[in-house]
Amino acid sequence: MEPNTLLDAILDEAGISHAGLAAHVNAAGRARGLALRYEHTAVARWLKGQRPRGQVPDLICEVLGERLHRPLTLDDIGLGTPGTPRVPGTPLSGFVERATALWRSDEQQREHVVAAPAVTGTHAVMPVWEWENPPEDADVSRRGLTRVSMEDIAMLRAARTHYEQMYRKAGGVATRARVVGFLNAEAAPLLRGSYSDATGRQLHRATGGLVAVAGICAYDSDAHGLAQRYFHQALRLAKASGDRGLGAYVIALLVNQSLFLGEYRQAVAFAESALRSGGPHLTPALTADLYAMQAKAYARLGDGAGALACIRRAESAAERIHRGQEPAETGYVQPGLVNVQVAEALLSLGDLGPAREHADRAVDTPAHDRGRVHRLAMLTHIELRQGDADKAVATAQEMTEQARGMESQRLRDRLRAVREHLIESGCAATAEAAEMIDGALRVPL
């Protein structure tokens, strides 16, 4: 059985105890001529995934719906017909309940959520297909208990910026619990609140940006299934907002995850979807990043012509970037990012000279702490491949110092990869640098 996170979240929202729900269900049953004698232990079993018999699921909907002043369906409380296939285009209200239930389960560190593997095939592709294709959300207004104001939306936007900066400095492991806690405490009540269509679109956009950061932090913590679910949520929120550019940004995050998981054909297809559907809504920074990641995927697939074509498009888009005209989300596309992406693609193709030039250019360009670690790691790999061990040692040492204090599985992966390459070179100097990396890796997350 899989725990019923939706019912758990609805109970929490309703502010009703296990014993209280059992008593109300018994009372509602008596009104229908049923003799029910449920206690809190029965509710605990329902939360663990057991489905109650007969009319009881309908009674639970009735009791909780009255408590929350809104109608609830069996799907809303996680008691829909077992085995029913997923219906594309989930209504927005149902999506909100499922999304907030996930946030609550993540904050409570529920193992079945945190340790879930990433989905593949149709389940991975469907959210992107739904974002790209009709129907659109004609009206996202909602009636709730709390009136959402523009001050609330400004708070969500400020929080996104705050947690993104925290992630860049401290890593996703340290940041994730904080951003998820904020989603539960602040964003969830607003999504369930009262707002017009115009305000709702801005609310969904602001929340989508925050959920994307939660996904980035989960990805950085090696929780890939959870990260994917956050990215899919952010994509649905982007669609509700009507902001195609935000949706394309979220797909860029999915492309990056696909590259890490070795799903190179999927990475190419997702990037193509964002480039095709984003159209005029794509900024030069996002366009450059999508083409650069597509180049890396093509290079991994051994398609040199495809990789080089994407590199040219990425470089052309990068020349058009103007910082004051980019949204907050694309701030990660800092000067030099495209260079390091291109260097990685060229390294995969075995074109070491141009790869070194791009990596040098990336390292010589200022970047935030996290980005600089990745740039130095890429340069170290190329220097070792070229046989320049002394230079590689110095670069690796700088990289290690830069990474100290960051709680990030992705950076640890980078350090481990550099360490292996240093050891493979077989030089005394590189062994010393590898030992320095060992010391950094011994610090637990």
pLDDT at 87: 45
3-state SS of the chain is CCCCHHHHHHHHHHCCCHHHHHHHHHHHHHHCCCCCCCCHHHHHHHHCCCCCCCCHHHHHHHHHHHHHCCCCCCCCCCCCCCCCCCCCCCCHHHHHHHHHHHHHHHHCCCHHHHCCCCCCCHHHHHHHHHHHCCCCCCCCCECCCCECCHHHHHHHHHHHHHHHHHHHHHCHHHHHHHHHHHHHHHHHHHHCCEECHHHHHHHHHHHHHHHHHHHHHHHHCCCHHHHHHHHHHHHHHHHHHCCHHHHHHHHHHHHHHHHHCCCHHHHHHHHHHHHHHHHHHCCHHHHHHHHHHHHHHHHHCCCHHHHHHHHHHHHHHHCCCCHHHCCHHHHHCCCCHHHHHHHHHHHHHCCHHHHHHHHHHHHCCCCCHHHHHHHHHHHHHHHHHCCCHHHHHHHHHHHHHHHCCCCCHHHHHHHHHHHHHHHHHCCHHHHHHHHHHHHHHCCCC
pLDDT at 429: 77
In a domain, 363, yes or no: no
Residue at which a domain ends, from 320, 338, 358: 358
From first to last of its 445 residues, what are the pLDDT tens digits of the chain?
678 888 988 888 888 999 999 999 999 999 999 999 999 999 999 998 899 999 999 999 999 999 888 888 888 898 987 654 444 445 798 899 889 989 998 998 888 888 889 999 999 999 999 999 999 999 999 998 889 999 999 999 999 999 999 999 999 999 999 999 999 999 999 999 999 999 999 999 999 999 999 999 999 999 999 999 999 999 999 999 999 999 999 999 999 999 999 999 999 999 999 999 988 889 999 999 999 999 999 999 999 999 999 999 999 999 999 988 899 999 999 999 999 999 999 999 999 999 999 999 999 999 999 999 999 999 999 999 999 999 999 999 999 999 998 999 999 999 999 999 999 887 777 888 899 999 999 887 6
Query: How far apart are the C-alpha atoms of 193 and 148, rounded to whole Å?
Result: 6
Nearest to 288 by CA among 298, 269, 274, 277: 274
pLDDT at 85: 44
* 231 and 303 both lie in a single domain: yes
- CATH code for the domain of 297: 1.25.40
pTM of the model: 0.87
* 408 and 273 both lie in a single domain: no
Are residues 342 and 311 in contact, defined by beta-carbon separation less than 8 angstroms? Answer: yes
In a domain, 90, yes or no: no
* 301 and 244 both lie in a single domain: yes
pLDDT at 9: 84
The greatest distance separating any two alpha carbons of the chain, rounded to the nearest whole angstrom, comes to 84
* 139 and 274 both lie in a single domain: yes
Q: Give 147's strand partners.
A: 194
248-262: buried (b, 16+ CB within 10 Å) or exposed (e) per residue? bbbbbbbbbbbbeee
pLDDT at 91: 79
If one counts the domains in the chain, the total is: 3
In a domain, 27, yes or no: yes
In a domain, 249, yes or no: yes
In a domain, 96, yes or no: no
Q: How far apart are the first and last CA of the chain?
A: 31
Residue at which a domain ends, from 338, 358, 378: 358
* 213 and 278 both lie in a single domain: yes
* 335 and 275 both lie in a single domain: yes
* 374 and 350 both lie in a single domain: no
* 55 and 140 both lie in a single domain: no
In a domain, 97, yes or no: no
* 372 and 353 both lie in a single domain: no
- The domain of 324 spans 103-358
> Under 8 Å CB-to-CB from 220, ≥6 apart: which residues?
167, 171, 172, 173, 176, 408, 409, 410
In a domain, 134, yes or no: yes
Are residues 74 and 94 in contact, defined by beta-carbon separation less than 8 angstroms? Answer: no
* 300 and 318 both lie in a single domain: yes
Q: Is the four-CA dihedral 229, 230, 233, 235 of positive or negative sign?
A: negative
Q: Taking each helix axis from N to C terminus, what angle separates 18-31 and 56-68, rounded to the nearest 10 degrees? A: 110
* 251 and 305 both lie in a single domain: yes
Query: How far apart are the C-alpha atoms of 336 and 318, rounded to whole Å?
Result: 9
The encoded tokens of residue 188 equal 């969830």
* 185 and 292 both lie in a single domain: yes
In a domain, 162, yes or no: yes
Q: Residue written as tokens 């369930």?
A: 192
